[in-house]
A and B are shown apart, each in its own frame.
Chain A
Amino acid sequence: MKRETKEYHYDWNLWTILENAAKTYDGSKKEYEALLPYVYHYKDVLDTFVRQGEPGVLFLKLLAKYMKDCVTARERGKKVSMNTFCLAIPILYAFDVQPLALEVWSVLGTIVLKRGTAEFLDFCCELGFTETSCSAQRGALGAYLSGLGVKPDFIVCDSPGVCDTNANSFAFAAAYLDLPFYQLNYPSTLTEERTERYHRKDYRELIKFLEEQTGRKLDEDKLKEIIRETRIQDELAAEIFEMLRLKPSPVPPVYDLLLYGGKFMMGGLPQYTELLQSMVKKAKDNMQKVIAGTKSGMEKARGMFCYIDHYTTNARMWDFLESRDISHLGSLLFCFWQQEMPYAKGREDEGYSIDDSSVDAMIDSLAAMNSRMPMVKQIRGPYDAPNMWRDVLVCANLMKPDFVVYMGTIGCRNTWGMVKLLVRDLEKAGYPTIVLYGDGFDDRVQSWESIIDKIEEFTHLRGILK
């Protein structure tokens, strides 16, 4: 690892950059524009969010707060949980524990830093972690394993039974750092009575684990407050989803990142509600004007990402979509399976609802919510049995995309195991589908420029964009 990389803690460094970024728009527009030349390396990523107006600025502020909360958690006497993005974090906040989602920190490093997280990705390999492991965790994990970040107190993951490479990253971190480890483990089925029983028991064991680690009991009032906030957030997310279905979609492409990114960092907290409210307001404005959420207000094509997005430097993926007038109809990370969502219609048993009538009801709601998180729901079991396939198909039927994109990471064993089948089935259903052989978190696998080439060639050849 380069000496200058070790100069500052990875998380502290990113936090200070984004803390400052979040303040840039506090003054006037003229002041902001005058500032941009002075932050040459960060001006593009900054502008990706700031040009979205209030929602973009609120997202930057949410980012800055989350990062500060992570970096300063220990000095504020809080426990830090290293966890995966698809863990429903309200339970951690209810225990006053600071969630530190590795994938969130990997995304931030990839988007913000000029060299991405390359050195940390490689550092993991020096420690023995395989180079074929998932980059979504490995990017930030390298920093935490090298001591260039806040030290977590324990590790919680919920990907066993869902995604091996994800779960393996956390198991590796626990073994390497000798930290307490808890896994929520998911059976291959979702709606069987015995599966629900299993989810609930497993979730109660998580609560016991958190009680042991924090030395405190679950705070019922705090949980209720967070759960109620989550319900409001679910309703707002449903509104955004509904607007995405419109033609043209009034929802700006980057809202996809704002929606799931905000939830993974601050789900259940008021900052996320404020962000969602602002997003809904802006999208409604566009809807009333009958314009798309793209830069020009036009929609030339509708793209749906059936897995994840690409987090290349400066968030260029969303910039590319906006500038080509392509609406981003959401990715798998967008689907949390609240019962009121359109995709849950007729399949209500596959969704969750929030019941705050008692502690037990709240815990059961959280167990249900967690077992339906993006990836946790879809990728368990065989892809057509039926979660992944049916979820993608139902979303495609609702969204009516012109094309579907599979973008993942090279470490994603379980989706690479079935993606050829998924593509074949989507094409049969009438949806042109492209598989991108890049890595959403590591530009060295395939450059963003070459990915653009492939998307453009594909959309041209299939007559989607002329």
Chain B
Amino acid sequence: MMNEWKEIANTMENTYLRKWKESGRAAVGYPCTYVPDEVIYAADILPYRLRGTGTTSSSIGDTYFGPVICSFPKCVLQLAGEGRFNFLDGTIIVPGCDSMRRLDECWRKAADDYKGILPGFFHYFGVPHKVTDYSLMWFYEETLKLKEKLEKHFGVTITDKALKVAISVYNESRKLLMQLDKLRVKDKPVINGEDALSIILASTAIPRDEFNKMLRKTLSQLEIKKETIKGKKRLMLVGSINDDPEFMKVIEDCGAVIVTDTMCFGSRSYSDLTEEEGDPLFALAKRYLNHAYCPRMFGYYKPRLKNIMDRAKKAKVDGIILQNIRFCDLHGSENGIFERDLEKEGIPCMRMEREYGPLTESGRVKMRIDAFLERIS
């Protein structure tokens, strides 16, 4: 079963996606956990989270983006320019951060030179940077606009009933992923961070109902699994986007197991449920604007610190890796204060800056992890 998860995690076009497309249905890409993908799912469209998996060059990304930009959107643009997202019928751009929001114009302008790479549906989805009654209202209106545009472009009707079904399916996913969390944080975990990430990645690349079926099966296998992970240092991963199970493997191969995280391809994507009562679109807006805050939400340092502390305590971690992709100042800077405050609480931390994309620096990462593990031994 794990091999299937890994295959989905490590490929762009998995078999489920291919089948979905073969059945004549559309797929829409989205880049960030602030997009209520239930709205897409309710339109019988496959929500597919954009990644830069498998890039081997950034020549196209570098042509449109400037030089001091995070490598994640550059890798996404690279794949788009190479036509590897051509299976997408639409894309949603989110101002998750400045580098990510510039993907909007860079992708559009690249499409002038690389014909056919711009999906027919290309939508900018504005997300406020604060949580208030009026920002929630704004976000609700954005969600409504997204719904209407999807309906118009794809000629579908997204009913409240379909939205409620989507909410229920996604909530089930989240509950299952929370169960997986419980297996990760056990004194003797039955699954490592690399495998857990593969499962989480699959949740963003295949239909959710299929995902739930598969995860239920995996959980039942894990719950009776006798073989446990022993004698490893228990680590937590915090910071910039990571969708690379190989990165987790490099860390875990040093003698560690990643038992928890606060990552967006991680606990931030499933730790909050959507209310199943009332107006479903409003419930989605509320859930997505309020879900575990990314540092793009300015001024919420304390809730984020609390989230890390709570998870670290629950998972009984020996140390925390605070990592950021170069030029990700939001995570990078906050990691600096996290280090100060977490070390004060007696939790050893290491800060690491890295690049997104192919693991060209695994030697350096390994050396840093080795040194950290030696420190906390």
Chain A residues with CB under 8 Å of chain B are: 127-130, 132-134, 157, 160-161, 163-165, 167-168, 170-172, 174-176, 181-183, 185, 187-189, 194, 197-198, 201-202, 205, 381-385, 410-411, 413-421, 424, 437
User: How far in angstroms is the closest Cβ of chain B from A258?
Assistant: 30
Q: Which chain B residues border A381 with CB–CB below 8 Å?
A: 95, 101, 124, 126
Q: Is the CB of B124 within 8 A of A194?
A: no
Give the tally of cross-chain contacts (CB within 8 A). 153
A-B CB contact pairs (8 Å), 29 listed:
A127-B336, A129-B333, A132-B332, A157-B298, A164-B296, A164-B329, A167-B129, A171-B295, A171-B299, A172-B337, A174-B299, A175-B302, A188-B95, A188-B124, A188-B126, A198-B134, A201-B132, A381-B95, A381-B101, A382-B102, A382-B124, A383-B102, A383-B105, A413-B69, A413-B97, A415-B66, A416-B68, A417-B102, A420-B66
Q: Is the CB of B129 within 8 A of A410?
A: no
> Pick the contact of A130 from B64, B95, B134, B329 — CB < 8 Å?
B329
Contact flag A382-B299 (CB < 8 Å), given A130-B333, A176-B337, A187-B126: no
Q: Which chain B residues border A133 with CB–CB below 8 Å?
A: 329, 332-333
Q: Which chain A residues border B129 with CB–CB below 8 Å?
A: 160-161, 167, 183, 185
Contact flag A421-B126 (CB < 8 Å), given A168-B330, A382-B105: no
Q: Which chain B residues border A420 with CB–CB below 8 Å?
A: 63-66
Contact flag A413-B68 (CB < 8 Å), given A127-B336, A188-B95: yes
Within 8 A of A (CB), among B69-111: 69-70, 95, 97-99, 101-102, 104-106, 108-109
User: How far in angstroms is the closest Cβ of chain A from B280?
Assistant: 21
Q: Which 7 A-B pairs have the closest CB atoms?
A: A128-B336, A417-B102, A416-B66, A160-B129, A130-B332, A175-B301, A414-B98
Q: Which chain A residues border B67 with CB–CB below 8 Å?
A: 416, 437
Nearest chain B residue, comparing its CB with the CB of A379: B98
Nearest chain B residue, comparing its CB with the CB of A417: B102
Nearest chain A residue, comparing its CB with the CB of B353: A130
User: How far in angstroms is the closest Cβ of chain B from A129?
Assistant: 5
Complex Cα distance, B296 from A174, in Å, reads 15
* Interface: B334 (CB within 8 A): yes
> Pick the contact of A414 from B102, B335, B337 — CB < 8 Å?
B102
User: How far in angstroms is the closest Cβ of chain B from A381?
Assistant: 7
Q: Is the CB of B66 within 8 A of A205?
A: no
Nearest chain B residue, comparing its CB with the CB of A435: B66
Question: A174-B301, A188-B124 are known contacts; what are 5 more A-B pairs with Cβ within 8 Å?
Answer: A128-B351, A189-B126, A202-B132, A416-B69, A424-B109
Complex Cα distance, B136 from A202, in Å, reads 12
Within 8 A of A (CB), among B275-311: 295-296, 298-299, 301-302
* Interface: B326 (CB within 8 A): yes
Q: Is the CB of B333 within 8 A of A128?
A: yes
Q: Is the CB of B101 within 8 A of A128?
A: no
> Pick the contact of A194 from B109, B138, B327 — CB < 8 Å?
B138
User: How far in angstroms is the closest Cβ of chain A from B300?
Assistant: 9
Q: Is the CB of B64 within 8 A of A421?
A: yes
* Interface: B323 (CB within 8 A): no
Q: Which chain B residues border A185 with CB–CB below 8 Å?
A: 128-130, 135, 298
Q: Is the CB of A181 within 8 A of B299?
A: yes
User: How far in angstroms is the closest Cβ of chain A from B128?
Assistant: 6
> Pick the contact of B98 from A175, A417, A421 — CB < 8 Å?
A417
> Pick the contact of A167 from B138, B141, B298 — CB < 8 Å?
B298
User: How far in angstroms is the closest Cβ of chain A from B285?
Assistant: 14
Complex Cα distance, B130 from A201, in Å, reads 13
Nearest chain B residue, comparing its CB with the CB of A194: B141
> Pick the contact of A413 from B98, B333, B335 — CB < 8 Å?
B98
Q: Which chain A residues border B299 with CB–CB below 8 Å?
A: 171, 174, 181-183
Complex Cα distance, B95 from A205, in Å, reads 23
Complex Cα distance, B334 from A174, in Å, reads 11
Q: Which chain A residues border B69 with CB–CB below 8 Å?
A: 413, 416-417
Q: Which chain B residues border A410 with CB–CB below 8 Å?
A: 68
Q: Is the CB of A129 within 8 A of B65?
A: no
Interface centre among A187, A417, A424 (most CB of B within 10 A): A417
Q: Is the CB of A175 within 8 A of B334?
A: yes
Nearest chain B residue, comparing its CB with the CB of A164: B98
Contact flag A418-B339 (CB < 8 Å), given A168-B298, A171-B301: no
Nearest chain A residue, comparing its CB with the CB of B62: A420
* Interface: B324 (CB within 8 A): yes
Nearest chain A residue, comparing its CB with the CB of B332: A130
Q: Which chain A residues border B335 with CB–CB below 8 Å?
A: 128
User: How far in angstroms is the closest Cβ of chain A from B182?
Assistant: 31
User: How far in angstroms is the closest Cβ of chain A from B253?
Assistant: 28
Q: Which chain B residues border A168 with CB–CB below 8 Å?
A: 295, 298, 329-330, 333
Q: Which chain A residues border B339 with CB–CB below 8 Å?
A: 128
* Interface: B230 (CB within 8 A): no
Q: Is the CB of B132 within 8 A of A205?
A: yes
User: How far in angstroms is the closest Cβ of chain A from B346?
Assistant: 18
Complex Cα distance, B65 from A351, in Å, reads 30
Contact flag A384-B105 (CB < 8 Å), given A161-B129, A164-B330, A168-B329: yes
Complex Cα distance, B68 from A3, in Å, reads 33
Interface centre among A160, A170, A183, A415 (most CB of B within 10 A): A160
User: How far in angstroms is the closest Cβ of chain B from A411?
Assistant: 7
